[in-house]
Chain A
Amino acid sequence: MNPAFRFALLSASIAAIAALAGTAHAGKVLDGVKQKGVVTCGVHTGRAGFALADSSGNWSGLDVDYCRALAAAVLGSAEKVKYVPTSGQTRITALQSGEIDVLARNTTWTYTRDTSLGLVWVGVNFYDGQAFITKKKPGLTKVTQLAGATICVDSGSTTEKNLAEYFTGHKLQYKGVVFDQIEASQQAFMSGRCQVYTGDNSNLAVLKATQLKNPDDYMILPEQISKEPLGPAVHRGDEDWFAIAKWTLNAMIEAEELGISSSNIDSLKASSADPAIKRFVGTGDDLGKFMGLDKEWSYRIVKQVGNYGESFDRNVGANSKVKLPRGQMNLWTKGGLMISPPLR
């Protein structure tokens, strides 16, 4: 055999073997998750309050709690999660390619994203808006006063588009400096390369509370130029998995409305006569079977992770470093926007 061809064949087979190194998953996401025994969850590379790993590798945050709730509902334990950090640029392709089962990464729910990318949103777990942070200057209150400034922004996000549209719409100039990694843009802001940094309000609050050396020198402008409903997303086309993901989020909200928390759920299970609570904790009608789960799926969510209010307070609210007010993230009965369709 011609040595040249022999080598070509050898290299072709090496390439083929390498290409085959991915695991083929025929079938649905739920089957894949049960077979692997973990929920693969795409999260932020590191954002305090939403998804951050400490030095021992333990993840915590609002999005992390959602992933844990999903794992508790489907696999029985909130610890059976594999966290995949994704950047602003790789998060969409990671979900599209099936590398992750669910994307819980502060991703804004927009029309284009919901329809043209092959993804579908399961709900909103945080109502955010785009805001600006800059050094305090007397008399600086409105975004229109930022004309002419150098503004750092992350690429691959709705932030960039909103910024361009806002300033073009108001016929103002600005100098935008775009980075593909969030750390790079935040560092450029902190070093003074840009005078302004724009991002989701929660992101800026976390930045101000945890990373700036002199937080009191900075201010987040009160005006928000866009609405950014953040929520988890799954791959379009798998209706069963979509239902499980959607109702996991709804269960956490419903639990808070019903007054069920991780501390009182066991006593409620033992003593409550309310049919709604009994359905929730698994002693009433079996609701889980419609989704392919057992009847204690919602019990496990609240027992192991907590309801939405507990998760919020623990990660971004009163008991956290960030201390964001509940605001729109409060229940609809208390003036906020969080409502779940009834679990019946």
Chain B
Amino acid sequence: MAEMLRPPVGATLGARWRHTLFGDKPSAIVSTVLLLGIAWALWQALRWGVFDAVVRPDAAACRGAEGACWGVIAEKGRLVVLGRFPPGQQWRPILGSLLLLGCVGAAAHPRCFGKVGAGLMLGGVITFGVLMAGGVLGLTPVGTDLWGGLPLTLLLAVIALLIGVPLGIALALGRRSKLPAVKWLSTTYIELVRGIPLITLLFFGSFVLPLLLPPRWRMDPMLRNGICLVMFAAAYLAEVFRGGLQAVTRGQHEAAHALGLNKWQTLTRVVLPQALRITIAPTASLFIGTVKDTTLVSIVNVYDLTGTLKLAMGDSDWRPFSVEMYVMVSAIYLTIGLSIASYGRYLERRYALK
């Protein structure tokens, strides 16, 4: 006997959810177990994080309490987020970060793509650098060893990508070039840098680079790490862009040639826009990766957000409550990552082929 068709699902949201979760027996069991589990986890989290928590920056009270110690954020939050910047001058990294974020946000708007966007980003980075370093316009000079925290993470990430993207495009073009020497050089560089961990590159910058420069030359440690991050980002971006360039069909090149466009015009007006459109998703993922890679500079004694976190947790009074600090820092990174991911999805939707 033929099986009876099930009645159609109701149109309301509630009916649809009820059908999805409790439609048939196995689903119902799984749903019940999961919902109970989620409820229990939420209850424990609320109890730890809200009800039993201590908000006052009082280490003794925190040790006595059972819940979270959010007071550690009040106590150590400034050190973690702004680093060891001199206390009286901390308005400078704050202002600089806001300006930089503003410029990045403005440059990210599709209407500012191109020269305007590049100029905005460059301007933002330079303003940030001037504000942090000081020495001009009456600002007291602050050495790069005192830069730290979230502003430093932002600066390193933005510079790594600002220089890394053009360099990556150059390397991708070089790898696809018909000139054997250029192709060989690009391929060697890309494969070499992609084959070693970033930490090796940073140690190379710290230990080997001083040996490779003439005696008495001094390269600022921040510059060394910046160069390593740029080199690393460029190699990975090159591979992604190469995939995009490969996907642009020969016909496009031939049509541009037929229209009398020279090589540079073909590249900038025909090939690159199409290639970049295809690679939006992996590029966004690499951008997030670069932000995460900046955490590795904390291993070579640069106090970025992770480095200041370790520094703040050195205080033995507050060390048992490091988990709360880690939660806050993870939340910051999560926000950055999710923002970049959603921006990538926005770009994908905007530039999707109709």
Contacts and interface: CB of A to CB of B under 8 A. Distances in A.
A and B: direct contact (Cβ < 8 Å)? yes
Interface of A: 2-8, 10-11, 14-15, 18-19, 21-26, 32, 45, 53, 55-57, 82, 84-85, 87, 90, 93, 96-99, 180-181, 183-184, 186-187, 190-191, 211-213
B329 interface: no
B145 A2 contact: no
B194 interface: no
B170 A23 contact: no
Contacts of A180: 299
- Greatest chain B CB density within 10 A among A4, A45, A96 is at A4
Interface stretch (B94-102, B105-113, B310-318): B310-318
A178 to B, nearest CB: 14
Contacts of A3: 173, 263-264, 267
A8 B170 contact: yes
Interface of B: 84, 86-87, 143, 145-146, 163, 166-167, 169-171, 173-174, 176-177, 179, 182, 185-186, 206-207, 210-211, 213-220, 223, 227, 263-264, 267, 299-301, 310-311, 313-314, 316-317, 319
A81 to B, nearest CB: 12
A18 B218 contact: no
A297 B35 CA distance: 78
A11 B219 CA distance: 19
Contacts, number: 108
A14 B223 CA distance: 13
A212 B316 CA distance: 7
A90 B301 contact: yes
B340 to A, nearest CB: 25
17 contacts: A3-B173, A4-B176, A5-B177, A5-B182, A8-B174, A21-B219, A22-B213, A24-B217, A25-B216, A25-B217, A85-B145, A97-B213, A97-B218, A99-B218, A184-B310, A187-B319, A190-B319
B173 to A, nearest CB: 5
B167 A11 contact: yes
- Greatest chain A CB density within 10 A among B145, B216, B300 is at B216
Contacts of A22: 213, 217-220
**Majority-rule SS of B interface residues:** helix
A64 to B, nearest CB: 15
Nearest to B86: A57
Contact of A19 (B143, B167, B213): B213
A183 B223 contact: no
A172 B263 CA distance: 72
A26 B207 CA distance: 22
Contacts of B263: 2-3
Given A4-B174, A56-B86, A212-B316, 9 more contacts: A5-B182, A7-B169, A11-B167, A11-B170, A14-B167, A22-B218, A32-B216, A93-B206, A97-B211
A337 to B, nearest CB: 33
Contacts of B176: 4
A55 B90 CA distance: 13
B310 A24 contact: no
Contacts of A85: 145, 301
Contacts of B174: 4, 7-8
Contacts of A57: 84, 86, 146
Given A7-B170, A18-B227, A96 B210 contact: yes
A187 B169 contact: no
Given A3-B263, A190-B319, A93 B87 contact: no
A23 to B, nearest CB: 6
B311 A183 contact: yes
**In the A-B complex, the 9 residue pairs with the closest CB atoms:** A7-B170, A97-B210, A22-B217, A25-B216, A22-B219, A4-B177, A4-B173, A183-B314, A98-B216
Given A4-B174, A187-B319, A25 B218 contact: yes
A46 to B, nearest CB: 9
A19 B218 CA distance: 10
B216 A93 contact: no
Contacts of B206: 90, 93
Contact of A7 (B143, B173, B317): B173
A4 B227 contact: no
B220 A187 contact: no
Nearest to A26: B216
Contact of A187 (B146, B216, B313): B313
Contacts of B267: 3
A213 B317 contact: yes
A191 B319 contact: yes
